[in-house]
Amino acid sequence: MPAFSKKLMAALAISTLSLLGACSATNGSSSNSSGSDNVRFGVSGPITGPSAEYGTYWREGFDLALQEINADGGINGVPLELVWEDSQSDPKQSVPIAQKFVADKTIVAELGDFSSPASMAASATYQQAGMVQFGFTNSAAGFTQGGDHMWSSILTQAYYQTKAAELVKQHSDKVSVVYLQSDWGKSSFDAFKQEAERIGLDIAYESAIQADSEDYRPVLIKARDAQPDAIVHIGYAPDGARVVRQLRELGWDKEFFGGQSTPQFIEAAGNAAEGTIISENLLIGNDSATVTQLYQKFRDAYGHDPSVFSVYAYDALRILAQAAERGGATREGVFRGLNEGGSFTSAQFGEFTFGEDRRPNNVPLLPLVVRNGAYEKLT
């Protein structure tokens, strides 16, 4: 059971919806009245449903950041509060949640949703209301193209996959690639393939896979038999764990690029994860001392290292709080703080600025490798 500090437990009281309460609610609702004197950010994300594990990761990052922000005086002396709604990362749920948030004049900004389709479905509602939608896990380029109130602290999938192909090329000349059968998976693979062709990385075999399949062996046998130097997986932690586990069962002992830097990937893949190089959701890093300090904070609070999605949530809340601190704790103020705020401080990036696409500008990427059952910097 996680070892929460007294300060962190106090912060949980500021977050308006406990995880247990959220799991028992259909949509998740705020326990506070609209007359709250706190600065309020809405959170639209998966508390239940197929993507609920990511909501759990968010919860850890948000709660840790919330504790720190309020311990430092909140937003210009006013406590910060989160109002959670459970979208299940479903566009059919994210739109009514957006309508609810914009109708509540005490909510000055929104964080989420988890998937780009869920976020983009709600973007028009936030844009029309003049509320910042901060999609910190939305790597689809189209998300921030939905309007000038759409901001993100994550890079585009095209950027990730370009860098992933370059990383793979440093280790291999010929690869087989499996990717998720979805719009996200196809666009990610297309970006990887385009860069592979540019840099001379030969793709000997390619195939889409279903996220919920339990048996990838027919595809993986073909990927193996194409005699590549490495096999690349573009997807998420659950399918990535099954892919690498089944590859090892098929006798694959060469390099594997894929999975995600989440605890679940290592737990689900077991010993098969050893040596995996994370080539999709590369953990972004700038100051190793800062990252080490952040990891220790998570260990102290929860008893384990953070998922990359916990780090995304932690950073997103702190960045949005900086914007509100600078521009004012209103919808217009948060937008002004982001738009005119200059540089921001990030545990991932160090000091950074937003580019014209309202995403971090010119930040480095840090590939990871699984060694001895843990993630570490690839050297």
pLDDT tens readout for residues 70-126: 999 999 999 999 999 999 999 999 999 999 999 999 999 999 999 999 999 999 999
What is the rounded distance in angstroms from the CA atom of residue 225 to the CA atom of residue 128?
A: 53
User: Residue 126 is encoded by which pair of tokens?
Assistant: 């936030």
> Which residues neighbour 225 within 8 Å (Cβ) at sequence distance 6 or greater?
none
What is the rounded distance in angstroms from the CA atom of residue 71 to the CA atom of residue 268?
A: 36
pLDDT for residue 284: 54
Strand, helix or coil at 261?
A: coil
pLDDT for residue 2: 42
pTM beyond 0.85, yes or no: no
- For residue 286, what pLDDT band results from cuts at 50, 70 and 90? very low
Nearest-5° Cα angle at 134, 32 to 80:
35
Nearest-5° Cα angle at 304, 291 to 242:
100
Same fold, 6-155+288-352 and 157-283: yes
User: Under CATH, what is the fold of the domain 157-283?
Assistant: Rossmann fold (3.40.50)
Q: Where are the domains of the chain?
A: 6-155+288-352, 157-283
What is the rounded distance in angstroms from the CA atom of residue 262 to the CA atom of residue 271?
A: 15
Scored b (16 or more CB within 10 A) or e, 97-133 reads bbebbbeeebbbbbbbbbbbbbbbbbbebbbebebbb
> Which residues neighbour 359 within 8 Å (Cβ) at sequence distance 6 or greater?
144, 151, 152, 153, 154, 155, 156
Query: CA of 211: how far to CAs of 164, 182, 184, 200, 233, in Å?
Result: 21, 9, 12, 29, 12
Superfamily of domain 6-155+288-352: Response regulator (3.40.50.2300)
Scored b (16 or more CB within 10 A) or e, 189-211 reads bebbbebbeeeebebbbbbbbee
pLDDT for residue 254: 98
What is the rounded distance in angstroms from the CA atom of residue 235 to the CA atom of residue 181?
A: 9
pLDDT for residue 35: 56
Nearest to 358 by CA among 324, 314, 318, 320: 320
* Alpha-carbon torsion (303, 112, 52, 32), positive or negative: positive
- For residue 287, what pLDDT band results from cuts at 50, 70 and 90? low
pLDDT tens readout for residues 294-317: 889 999 999 998 888 999 999 999
Q: List beta partners, residue 354.
A: 360
Nearest to 308 by CA among 195, 160, 169, 131: 160
